[in-house]
Amino acid sequence: MTDLLKIWGERLRSEGYRLTRARRAILEALAAGESHMTPEELHRQARRRHRSLGLVTVYRTLALLEKLNLVQRVHQGALSCHSFIAVRLPTGHHHHLVCRTCGRVEEFPDCALDDVLRRLQARTGFAIESHHVEVVGRCPECQ
C-alpha cells in the first residue's frame, strides 16, 4: 500500500506534475480506502491529513489520476453516482462488477473480453477502438 503511494508519486513526477501536500493527502486516502469513494467522501478522508484541502482540488486530482489510469471511476445508483477506486491490477484496464444492493465492487481484467472483441473485429472488419462494459448483480452476501 505504501508501495502504491510511492509508485503514484514517481509517476506524477515523471509526467512533470508536482507532488503537493494536497495531492499527497488525496493519494493517501485513496490508497488507504478499501473500496470506492465519492469525491465528497474522499475529501472528508483526505482532510484528516490536510485540513484546508478544498473539494475542488479533489475533483481536479481525480481527473488527473483518471487520465493517468491510476484510479478508475465506478458508477453506481442514481444520485451521486460517481465514485473512484485505486487501480491495483497490473494489467491496468479492467472492468467492474457492482453489487446493486451494497455497492461492493469486484474487478475483472479486460483480457476476459479480448477474445470476444478480437472475433468481433475479424467478423465485421471494424477496427475496434474502445469499449464500454457495465455489469450489475448482487454479491453473495446480498442475495
Partner DNA sequence: ATATTAATGAAAAATTTTTTCAATAAGGCA
Partner DNA sequence: TGCCTTATTGAAAAAATTTTTCATTAATAT
Binding residues for DNA, rule: CB under 7 A, are 13, 16-23, 38-40, 50, 52-57, 59-61, 63, 78-82
> Which cell numbers hold the place of 23?
495531492
**How far apart are CB 80 and DNA at their closest, in Å?**
4
Residues 6+ apart with CB under 8 A from 15: 68
Residues 6+ apart with CB under 8 A from 64: 17
48 lines the binding site for a second copy (CB under 8 A)? no
Q: Which of 71, 76, 85, 87 binds a second copy (CB under 8 A)?
A: 76
| Nearest residue (CB) to DNA, 13 versus 88 | 13
| Nearest residue (CB) to DNA, 2 versus 143 | 2
Burial string for 90-102 (b: 16+ CB within 10 Å, else e) reads eeeebbbebbeee
Distances (CA, A) of 38 to 72, 74, 130: 12, 9, 25
| Nearest residue (CB) to a second copy, 28 versus 61 | 61
67 lines the binding site for a second copy (CB under 8 A)? no
Q: Annotate each residue in 122-141 with x if it binds a second copy (CB under 8 A) or - if it does not, as one string.
A: --xxxxxxxxxxxxxxxxx-
* Type of residue at 122: A
54 binds, among Zn ion, DNA, Mn ion, none (CB under 5 to 8 A by kind): DNA
| Nearest residue (CB) to Zn ion, 10 versus 106 | 106
| 3-state SS, residue 82 | strand
Which parts of this chain interact with Mn ion (CB under 5 A)? 110
Residues 6+ apart with CB under 8 A from 14: none
55 binds, among Mn ion, a second copy, DNA, none (CB under 5 to 8 A by kind): DNA
